[in-house]
Structure 1
Amino acid sequence: MLANAPGFTGNTLDRADRVRHEPALLEAALADAEARLLVLDGLDPVLDEAGRLTWTNLSEASGELLFLGHEAGVPRFVSTFADDVSVPTGRSPAMFALLDRFAAPDAANYAAARSLVFWHGRHRFCANCGSPTRITHAGWGRHCPHCGAEHFPRVEPVVIMLAERGDQVLLGRQPSWPPGRYSALAGFLEVGEAIEEAVRRETFEEAGIRLGAVRYIASQPWPFPSSLMVACVGEALDADIRIDANELEDARWFTRDEVGMALARDPAAPFLGPPAYAIAHTLLTAWYEGN
């Protein structure tokens, strides 16, 4: 077991799958006087001083209600955007500051809600025939009345990896990151590709390093908008870095001691490590500790 769990994991909601398939159970949840609605500012969470999510009455919903699950027996919902409101794209500048304030379980619950709301906002029309769709399965699906197609939320798998060579690890940086930050390489899994194959391909494409054996470390839901980060470590077969300038600004080998300094936020560290909520931090910590 990893010493530090990835951010956005540890969901405390019972997703109560039966509610998605039995209309009477959904009606009971909607009629429950204790039922609560997640408060969002656009797609951003509204946190209290303790970093906890804010909940309100279902009557405050601006769109259709989506069932998130039960927590301590209390039904929890989130609302879609109204039909005439466009779904925000990307992350707002305020979101980055909020990520460091989250209470851990609430971050996981928010991740599910955000991804679900975003998905509904982007799938109002059928991908098969273009007709308007309607919400089904208590908010976990959409149905096209015209052609009968069923649509369900999907995640986009992303591999994120370290290449190791003895007591060194390969990290890269993108030009948009804060000065001095280095982190794990990453890229989307492509169709017809295994996780290990994607790890090897992305590492070679971005840094020119070929990998041998690949081992899985951990995964993380990443709700921007709905990725699943799959963290791995691969054995480097060579050390000659050749970066793709379209992907990276720089890539370097760092020693275990240097990684330890960065994780400890030592001012003398040769690089700034990834933030604690990112699975890259979990991955780097696991490598540093030899897990």
Structure 2
Amino acid sequence: EIAERFVTEALSLTAHEAYELKVVDLLADSREELMEKINGKKISIAGKEVVLNTSNYVFVEIERPLQAVVYDIISNPQIAVILLLLGVYLLIFGLTSPGMMAEVVGAILLILAFAGLGVIQINYAAIFLILLGILFLIAELLTPTYGPLAVASVISITMGLLMLVEEPMMPNEFYEVFPKLAVGLGIGIASFMTFVLIKIIKIRRKRSSVGEVAGLRGEVIEFRNGKGFAKVRGEIWSIESKDELRKGDEIVVIERRDLTLEVKRVDGAEGGDRKVAEKAEGETQ
């Protein structure tokens, strides 16, 4: 009858109520008290009567794996929703304001949020983070951002490795190595990217000291809301401009401020995207 009420009425009982209704056999306020009360108790296992002997018990503490700790944090409903909202807002902000790298953080937070909300399995989330970190690493090598993408790559790959959960077919030794592998790989990637960035900065400073970049021409790679990237003298530079630029536009450098170039569009020079758009408008008219 009680079992039926648990299902049909969603019955909820306190500890003492459960004891009075014989839902539980005994009450204990601590592990030690529990071991004392069950000592000498007779139970039936596989049709055989067994007497419990807990007079010489020893508690063995099993440390929770890091994967479980991380999953408990992100699976908290409040934290998962916060991660989701932050991820969406940062992704939108990053896509509308290039150069801030907010979309990078947003992508990582969205994957964590989806894992916490149960939209994707924790192992899939870990794999996505690892792949995302590899993409960040490739992007950093192709278009140096002087740090943000490299840092995001290290964080994403490390978190992905730490979040991988043991599978039935996975050898225990292989699973136990993952935390050390994650930390070691993270340190290795960070060291490598630091070395590469230092070399790039030295080369760029050396080239800049040979001659000023003012007056040089280049081609716009990406541009939104007054900021973007352009290829000048075979190098990828962050640019700012008061002109409305599009991908493929030819630009000329006005001045250089640290690692950012102030540019303007070359008169009469329009990128391929702009020409295609204007041609389409003309045909429509």
Q: Which one has the bigger strand percentage? A: 1
Could you say which structure has the larger radius of gyration?
2
- Using structure 1 for the length normalisation, give the TM-score: 0.28
Q: TM-score of the superposition, structure 2-length normalised?
A: 0.28
Structure with more relative contact order (C-alpha pairs < 8 Å, separation 6 or more): 1
Q: Which has the higher helix share?
A: 2
